[in-house]
Amino acid sequence: MPVADVLIIGAGPVGLFMAALLLQDGMDVQILEQRSAPEPHSRAIGIHPPALAALAGTGVAEALVAEGVPIRRGVAVAGGKCLAQMSFAGVSDRFPFVLSLPQGRTEALLERRVNELDAGALHRGVRLTRLSDDGARVTVEAESGGGLLRYTAPLVIAADGVRSTVRALRGVAVRGKEYPDSYLMGDFADNTGFGPVAALFLAGAGIVESFPLPGQRRRWVVRLGAGDLTAGNLTAAGITAGGHGCGGQDGDALWLMRCVRERTGLDIDAGTNSMLSRFGVRTRLARRMLTGHVVMIGDAAHEVSPIGGQGMNLGWLDAAALAPIVSAAVRGHEVEGDLRTFERTRLRAAARATRQAEINMALGRPLPEGLLAARNRAIGCVAAVPAVNALIARRFTMH
Ligand SMILES: Cc1cc2nc3c(=O)[nH]c(=O)nc-3n(C[C@H](O)[C@H](O)[C@H](O)COP(=O)(O)OP(=O)(O)OC[C@H]3O[C@@H](n4cnc5c(N)ncnc54)[C@H](O)[C@@H]3O)c2cc1C
């Protein structure tokens, strides 16, 4: 049975970063990942300055920055006019921007770093099915190609995502909340002239968010209204006919293009669409991150709304906070108190991110004309106060 200092379950962005930190510190780490190949679907794009600073510790930040688009500024637009601007120049000396890079590329660069540190650490196509903790060691059973494998280590770190098997096996309860918000997002060629600037369009029918991507492309995220894309007219692929406010086939690239035109006055080219995905919003916060010799991090411990773009960043900051504690434990130091502090502060950070996302979602909901004008005027006034503007920029970038 293979024995390691630490077993990591899940090679998403959080498991890979955790592994890189521990391998770099000279630990024997094994990572079990159920997928036989990396996930191609792009979810996260926003990487915030505190996460970049943490990633710099493994030498990955430079590669990410080389491929990504640094977003140094955001604008809020209503009725074709710029209501407010926000600069990220003051949020960090080293990384005064939010970096935009599709999650697939981020994971590929993290995986490359893990392989440089130990080419044998990552085991793909291995799915954890059972786990037992005898008080000194944790033994894991996993399926691979129809066979059964066993691994053991004094510590297991579960980074196995929102449907965490480890969390279920350990019986850790979660507090959950469902939200009425749902969104359609798609990536298109960028012909807007916004360049590296992020833009929020505060329309009465619901917010439209637009972010630069590498390769002269842009991501568009549209807040769906009550009549848009009801669950009943979505197939498994996400699209069928229906025909609501924005015209065209519900949920396809043409529909998104028309919706963007109606709400922003801008034309995007539906023919250049490379990704389309609809998502609803819920949050899940585990009651505990520690259970015996098992620690849960990333989405396994906290699922937050994608609106605000903090989920992956939160998970990385969990890993950065946990790494020195694990190192000390492997070297024989007593770490019980440090682990408790870790759990308390990271669950608090997740709750903070959840509240921030709730504010972001509330700002993007549909509003009738009269209220919309008053809300947008208020946003313009508040953002014009330099101290408040700087504070919002810091909150937005996870400071
Ligand atoms: C539409 C959308 C947009 C988003 N945008 C942003 C953004 O801009 N910024 C941001 O910070 N976050 C964003 N997020 C959130 C971000 O995608 C997640 O927080 C992030 O992927 C979590 O990483 P993770 O490694 O914890 O989990 P995951 O990425 O889910 O990885 C978990 C891994 O564990 C593996 N696994 C699961 N079970 C097992 C098992 N039993 N055995 C072995 N392996 C297993 C899985 O195959 C997977 O590879 C977004 C999310 C969505 C849905």
Instruction: Dump the DSSP string for 17-71.
Output: HHHHHHHHTT--EEEEES-SS--------EE-HHHHHHHHTTT-HHHHHHHSEEE
Q: What distance in angstroms lies between residue 175's CA and the mean position of ligand 1's atoms?
A: 19
The C-alpha angle with vertex 231 and arms to 228 and 233, in degrees rounded to 5, equals 75
Q: What distance in angstroms lies between residue 351's CA and the mean position of ligand 1's atoms?
A: 18
| HSE (side-chain half, CA atoms, 13 Å) at 84 | 22
Q: Is the CB of 299 under 6 A from ligand 1?
A: yes
What is the Cα–Cα distance from 183 to 307, expressed in whole angstroms?
Answer: 9
Q: What distance in angstroms lies between residue 64's CA and the mean position of ligand 1's atoms?
A: 18
Evaluate the CA torsion angle 315, 318, 322, 324 in order and state its sign: positive
pLDDT at residue 231 in the model: 41
User: Is 320 in a helix, a strand, or coil?
Assistant: helix
Q: Hey, what's the torsion of the CAs at 372, 378, 384, 390, to 10 degrees? A: -100
Distances (CA, A) of 41 to 45, 257, 270: 11, 21, 19
Q: What is the pLDDT of residues 131-184, one digit of tens each?
A: 999 989 999 999 999 999 999 999 999 999 999 999 999 999 999 999 999 999
Residue range 219-224: average pLDDT?
96
Residue range 256-274: average pLDDT?
95
Q: Is the CB of 312 under 6 A from ligand 1?
A: yes
Residue range 102-108: average pLDDT?
96
Helices 311-330, 336-363: crossing angle, 10 deg rounding:
180
Q: Is the CB of 159 under 6 A from ligand 1?
A: yes
Q: Which atom of ligand 1 is nearest to the CA of 164?
A: 38
Q: What distance in angstroms lies between residue 39's CA and the mean position of ligand 1's atoms?
A: 10
Which residues touch 252 (CB under 8 Å, ≥6 apart)? Answer: 239, 270, 276
Query: Which residue has its alpha carbon closest to ligand 1 atom 4?
Result: 44
Residues across the chain? 399
CB of 205 within 8 A of CB of 366? yes
Residue 366 CB coordination number (10 Å): 16
Q: Is the CB of 186 under 6 A from ligand 1?
A: no
Q: How far is CA 200 from the centre of its chain?
A: 19
Query: Which letter does DSSP use for residue 3 in this model?
Result: B
The top-scoring range by mean pLDDT among 114-118, 328-332, 361-365 is 114-118
Q: Is the CB of 32 under 6 A from ligand 1?
A: yes
Q: Which atom of ligand 1 is nearest to the CA of 51?
A: 11
Question: Residue 399: is its pLDDT beyond 90?
Answer: no
Which of the listed residues 32, 34, 122, 213 should we mutate to test ligand 1's pocket, taking the one with most ligand atoms within 8 A of CB? 34
CB of 211 within 8 A of CB of 309? no
What is the Cα–Cα distance from 292 to 168, expressed in whole angstroms?
Answer: 14
Q: What distance in angstroms lies between residue 76's CA and the mean position of ligand 1's atoms?
A: 29
Beta strands in 249-321 (DSSP E): 275-286, 290-291, 294-296, 302-303
What pTM did the predictor assign?
0.93
| HSE (side-chain half, CA atoms, 13 Å) at 282 | 10
Residue 287 CB coordination number (10 Å): 11
Question: Residue 246: is its pLDDT beyond 70?
Answer: no
Confidence of residue 245 (pLDDT cuts 50, 70, 90): low
Q: What is the CA radius of gyration of the chain?
A: 22
Q: What distance in angstroms lies between residue 258's CA and the mean position of ligand 1's atoms?
A: 30
Query: Which residue has its alpha carbon closest to ligand 1 atom 39?
Result: 160
